Structure 1
Amino acid sequence: MSGNPKTDTSALTQLGRPVGVPASPEDAVLERVPNPHPGVPYCVRFTAPEFTSLCPLTAQPDFAHLVIDYVPAEWLVESKSLKLYLTSFRNHGAFHEACTVGIARRLEAELSPVWLRIGGYWYPRGGIPIDVFYQSGKPPAGVWVPPQEVQPYRGRG
């Protein structure tokens, strides 16, 4: 599908092809596609309600609900590559803060967005939920950025 530079996906290596889960986040390939509306401020949201990683000390699974919002500049993240990248954390040992902020920094490096934020709503470890939030600055004026509206962990009742 080449020709129109706004919809050219010819350089993508994962979309439309069988691809295994990367062994680690460092091995994952994040791909991007041209923003079809550069210069138009709008917000893109990805929600990963079943994100998993491993505790780096116990190797026990950790679970989170991630919400990623960004205002694109020239690039959009290709969604299959993002799903594979997020899935690569399943066997990756890292603290909640390292995962959440690391995902934000990787997206910033790959996309150079106008603005980005991520909410990592982690389920309790040792009886204490640890939520991690990152934002690259103030959202641009005139862009509707909906609230994330993920309820903090309340336990039973």
Structure 2
Amino acid sequence: MSTDTSGLTLLGGQATQPASPEAARLERVPNPHPGTRYCVRFTAPEFTSLCPMTGQPDFAHLVIDYIPGDWLVESKSLKLFLTAFRNHGAFHEACTVGIARRLVAAIAPEWLRIGGYWYPRGGIPIDVFYATGEAPAGVWVPPQDVPAYRGRG
């Protein structure tokens, strides 16, 4: 089981907030169980970005599931990456799919999906879903269970 963390630059020390998602560094650690299929889930219920047109804040509940290959994403670097969107103007679709693609590029998972459950602006919630393909058979991937937005109705 490999626990080599010698290449990490963010974990265990003070880190500054990246100026943008592009400037953020996603770090990885070796999968301690290579060859074993299992699902890893990250939930970010307070994700924030900016509307690229108005500059107003947009809020989402993100759920990221992946089946690791040789690498795991290091969680502090993921947190810093996600918070880099707070001052970043992009549409919901660009944020959600862009996060997934950056993760795929960084850790080359066997499979990944993201659910972006965005809170309404202008009265309409926009939910964005992306997956690299079908979930592999034989791996327990729980449902995301984030209820659709419901107003006072």
TM-score band, normalised by shorter chain: over 0.9
Structure 1 position 66 matched with structure 2 position 62: yes
Q: Which runs of 5+ in 1 are unaligned?
A: none
Aligned-partner Cα distance in 1 for 2:18–2:152:
36
- What's the Cα RMSD here? 0.8
* C-alpha distance after superposition, 1:38-91 (max 9, x if no partner): 110000000000000000000000000000000000000000000000000000
Aligned-partner Cα distance in 1 for 2:87–2:26:
18
- Counterpart position of 1:44: 40
Aligned length: 153
Q: How far apart are residue 112 of structure 1 and its match?
A: 0.7
Q: How far apart are residue 141 of structure 1 and its match?
A: 1.1
Q: How far apart are residue 97 of structure 1 and its match?
A: 0.0
Aligned-partner Cα distance in 2 for 1:80–1:143:
26
Aligned counterpart in structure 1 of residue 120 of structure 2, from 109, 118, 124 = 124
Q: Which runs of 5+ in 2 are unaligned?
A: none
- Counterpart position of 1:133: 129
Which amino acid letter does the alignment assign opposite residue 59 of structure 1? G
Structure 1 position 29 matched with structure 2 position 25: yes
Identity among equivalent positions (%) equals: 79
Aligned-partner Cα distance in 2 for 1:29–1:78:
10
Aligned counterpart in structure 2 of residue 77 of structure 1, from 73, 77, 91 = 73
Give TM-score scaled by structure 1 length.
0.96
Aligned-partner Cα distance in 2 for 1:86–1:155:
27
Which amino acid letter does the alignment assign opposite residue 87 of structure 2? N
Give TM-score scaled by structure 2 length.
0.98
- Counterpart position of 1:101: 97
